[in-house]
Amino acid sequence: MLRKIYLFVVFLLFLVTSPLSMADEQSAKQVVEEFQNQLIAVMKQGKALGFKGRYEKLDGAVRSSHDLAKIARIVVSKQWEELSAEQQAKLESVFSKLSVSAYAHNFKDYSGESFVFVSEEETGRGGVVIHTNLLIPGQKDVKFDYQMKKKDDGWQIINIIADGVSDLALKRSEYTSILSKDGFDVLIAKITEKIDNYAAQ
């Protein structure tokens, strides 16, 4: 009897630790495709939803697919360590709102756009780049390359390169300059102003 119980426990442990139990974990490609599908869905309802509605629809999608905390640290580079814990938390919060607001502002109309997967590329540091194109009827395709890193809870986006332009690099250049010249409060004020501008348009 004890032997049967032991074998049953071993069998359960095998199920828990076997590759089959990981079937629900999304690949980097799946994370990107799901996020892009949510973007298109919101674009199709864009005008009816308005900015606030688009923001609410995209908030969870952006936060689950993007490592916003890591991105916030990267965009201020070495100056992150000079911030207090309270300032770090404030920057993460405001930056996350900016990220969602940018999507809600930039993806507000639909005229037949669609995303297509191009290829997947492994990087030297255990990351992955998902290459995709945004097809816009009557216009040139836009290349979107998603740099992905894997965390304990799955793959997340840490940077997006649109037609060769790195969003991370642009923000890091802007934010580190503001922090150096004007200080933390001015940086937060400028980010908040941008959020307000997105909401008003």
Give the contacts of 137 (CB within 8 A, at least 6 positions apart). Answer: 111, 112, 113
Q: What is the pTM of this model?
A: 0.86
Per-residue confidence band for 151, with pLDDT thresholds at 50, 70 and 90: confident
Domains defined for the chain, CATH in brackets: 25-200 (3.10.450.710)
- Confidence check: pLDDT of 59 > 70: yes
Task: Look at residue 20 in the predicted model and tell me its pLDDT.
Answer: 36
The CA distance from 153 to 170, in Å, is 28
Per-residue confidence band for 125, with pLDDT thresholds at 50, 70 and 90: confident
The CA distance from 184 to 36, in Å, is 33
Beta pairing partners, 133: 116, 143
Q: What would the mean pLDDT of 59-82 be, rounded to a whole number?
A: 96
Among residues 110, 130, 111, 112, the alpha carbon closest in space to that of 120 is found at: 130
SS3 state at 132: strand
- Confidence check: pLDDT of 5 > 50: no
Give the contacts of 94 (CB within 8 A, at least 6 positions apart). Answer: 188, 191, 192, 195
Per-residue confidence band for 24, with pLDDT thresholds at 50, 70 and 90: low
Long-range interactions of 92-95: CB distance < 8 A, separation 24+? 92/68, 94/188, 94/191, 94/192, 94/195, 95/68, 95/71, 95/191
Q: What would the mean pLDDT of 184-190 be, rounded to a whole number?
A: 98
CB 168 within 8 A of CB 67: no
The CA distance from 162 to 156, in Å, is 17
